[in-house]
Amino acid sequence: MNDPQGRSTVLITGAGRGLGREFARQYARAGWRVIGTVRDDRSEAALAKLGVEVHRADVSDRRSLARLAARLKSAPIDVLVCNAGIYGPRGARLGKLDYAGWEEVLRVNLFGPAATVEALLENVAASDRKVVVMMSSRLGSISESKGRDYLYGSSKAALNAIGKAMSVDLAPRGITVVSLTPGWVRTDMGGREAPLGPQGDRRFGGVEVRSVLQLRWRGGGVVAGKIGTLARARNTG
C-alpha cells in the first residue's frame, strides 16, 4: 500500500471531528496522503469528501487496532498523529469522582495512543520522516494544575510521561516522538467559549499543519508547546 504518487503519508486517529478533521483537511490540502480513523458512518462520509482514506478503528480496542494494521500492511506512515481522545464526565471533583468514567478516559486517552503506536510502529519506522505526535493538553501540566481536573488532566499528564519514555526508547530507530498542545479550541470537547477556532489563530497558535511538516529533528524528543509555535521549539529529548 505504498503511495503510488510518492506522497508523504499521515495517519490521524479520531479524524472524524474537531481537531482531527482539521488536521486531515490541512494535510490533504498540502498534498499528503491522509489516512483517518473514525468510529461512525457520519464521520466517515465527512472525511471522504476531503479525499481522506478512511478506516474504522477504535483506539481503546487493541483487536480493532490489529485489524487496522493488517489492512495497512507495510505501508509507511511518515507522521502518526495520536489524536483520538475524550474528556469524560464533566463536573467530577474530589469527593464525587466517577471512577468508571475515569477508567474510560484512561483507556482512550492513555492506553489508546500507546496501543496505536505499538500496532503501527513498523509502519512509522519504514517511513522517511518517522514522527509520532501525541496530542496532549495544557491540562496535563503538573506545574500549572489548578486542581479539579482529575480525569482528563491525569490522562494527559500520563500521556506526556509515556511520550517521553517512547522518545528515549525509539531514538535508536531514528523516530521522533513529540507531545503537543493545541491550546483551548472550539470543538465538541473544547466548547463554544474557547478562544481558538480549529483552523488556527496566528495570534495564539491553533492548529497549523505547517509546524508538523517542519519537524526535522534527529532522534527522539518530547516537545511541549502550542502547535503554532512548534517550529521554533527545541528538541528537549
Q: Which domains does the chain have, with CATH numbers?
A: 9-232 (3.40.50.720)
Nearest residue to 87 via CA among 66, 101, 72, 73: 101
- 192-216 residue pLDDT tens: 553 344 444 333 334 444 444 443 3
| Average confidence score pLDDT of the chain | 79
d(CA 213, CA 28): 13
Catalytic residues, by residue number, are: 152
Measure the CA–CA gap between 202 and 2, rounded to whole angstroms: 34
Pairing of strands 33-38, 53-56: parallel
Nearest-5° angle of CA 55, CA 46, CA 135?
Answer: 65
Please name the amino acid found at residue 141: S
How many residues can be counted in the chain? Answer: 237
Q: What is the pTM of this model?
A: 0.80
Which grid cell is 50?
476531503
pLDDT mean over 105-128: 98
Q: Sheet containing 79-82: which strands, arranged edge to edge? A: 53-56, 33-38, 9-12, 79-82, 131-135, 176-180
- What does the pLDDT look like over 124-178, one tens digit per residue? 999 999 999 999 987 767 777 777 789 999 999 999 999 999 999 999 999 999 9
Look up residue 193 and give its DSSP letter: T
Q: What is the pLDDT of residues 61-79, one digit of tens each?
A: 999 999 999 999 999 999 9
